[in-house]
Amino acid sequence: MRDPSRAFLLGPLLKGVSRSFYLTLRVLPARMRDPVGLAYLLARAADTIADTSLIPPHRRLALLLSLRGQVNGATADAALADSIATEVAGRQEQSDERILLESLGPALAVLAQLEPDDQQAVRQIVSTLSEGMEFDLRTFPDERAGRIVALGEPEALDRYTYLVAGCVGEFWTTMTAAHMPGAIGMPDTMLRRGIRFGKALQMTNVLRDCGKDLRIGRCYLPATMLKQYGLRPQDLLLPDASLRARALMRELVRKTLEHFCEAMAYTLAIPPRFIRLRLACLWPVLIGMETLLLLVRNDDWLDPAKTSRLPRSKVYRIIAYSLPMVLSNSLLRIWFARQMRNIDAVMR
């Protein structure tokens, strides 16, 4: 019989905190679902700690590093659990996130029950993702400081996208190879493509959420690139910022599309008989490309009130029209090429 605590964590609670990602988790093959779902829960808890702006950054960092230590096998710290419950959980507006933070003890117990290879993979991915959160806390000012800090070079943005998403593609590929024999050919190539897959999704998020991030002092657009276009981070808050920074946005969209080409190649390389796995990879590509199309059509892309975010009804339509295409590489290539043309036509 399945442990009730485990069933709750990887069922109702996971659904409550993962939102659209839960659709992908639901379609995953059963053997992958628990370790991937648990990794998501632990990473989401760490992210919630890192993002709770009512707590000073240095304290969030201390809690984050302590949680990372416990994920990696450090002796359970009752004081840490109490601190997270009192300092962080109580400040959450979303009840599911509060429950997640209060359930870290059971989640770590589930981690200890995983098979050794799965346990190591989950520990590694949560540790790497938390490094991305640590990067944010060390790089950017307190959200209430009233100033903006930009990343320095494009290489810093590329490193950041690996830490918070590229590593997920790596983890996904490792888990697939372990649990789905025959689904992953050319492991080295698929690992490289998996990293690019994650970077594609994170670059889409960076561009979509740029206006919101700027208002809490975070500019992921590198300072050297801003300078090339005659811009400073502060300029991105001006009324005409979306127009002035449009050329820079287009350059970054083109880089993102290069990553998406690798993401599509990753999806097409999965044999059609693994239909659930193909769907789990296809949906983020379809949603990401539709988001990019919405972004390049958005004349006010830096206005946080006009974010290029797909409505849930559109997401469900994307899922529906993906079903007839998922088994056909030819149909998927046609769709992808059309989306590339549509985005390129707007950027000319």
pLDDT by residue (tens digit) across 336-347? 999 999 999 999
Q: Return d(Cα 148, Cα 302) in angstroms, integer.
A: 15
Residue 66 tokens read as 């302590």
Q: Record the tokens describing residue 257, joined without a space.
A: 């599309």
pLDDT band (50, 70, 90) for residue 1: very low
Residue bearing the bigger pLDDT, 215 or 4: 215
Q: What is the pLDDT of residues 45-73, one digit of tens each?
A: 999 999 988 889 999 999 999 999 999 98
Q: How much is the average pLDDT of 26-45?
A: 88
How confident is the model at residue 53, as a pLDDT?
Answer: 84
Give the pLDDT score at 76. Answer: 65
Strands (E), the chain: 149-150, 218-219
Q: Residues 4-27: what's their mean pLDDT?
A: 81
Binned at pLDDT 50, 70 and 90, residue 79 comes out as confident
- Asked if the domains 1-139 and 151-211+222-348 are classified in one and the same CATH topology, the answer is yes
Vertex 174: Cα angle to 173 and 177 (nearest 5): 85
Q: What percent of the chain has pLDDT over 70?
A: 97
Contact between 132 and 205 (Cβ < 8 Å)? no
DSSP label of 80: H
CA–CA separation, 108 and 189 (whole Å): 33
Q: Can you tell me the distance from the alpha carbon of 129 to that of 338, in angstroms, rounded to the nearest whole number?
A: 33
Q: What is the pLDDT of residue 232?
A: 97
- CB distance 148 to 162 below 8 Å: no
Give the CATH H-level superfamily of domain 1-139.
Farnesyl Diphosphate Synthase (1.10.600.10)
pLDDT given for residue 11 in this prediction: 84
Alpha-carbon distance of 95 to 64, in angstroms, equals 20
Q: How far apart are CA 236 and CA 231, in angstroms?
A: 8
Q: How many residues does the chain have?
A: 348
pLDDT in tens, 278-310: 999 999 999 999 999 999 999 999 999 999 999
- Arch. (CATH architecture) of 151-211+222-348: Orthogonal Bundle (1.10)
* Structural domain boundaries in the chain: 1-139, 151-211+222-348
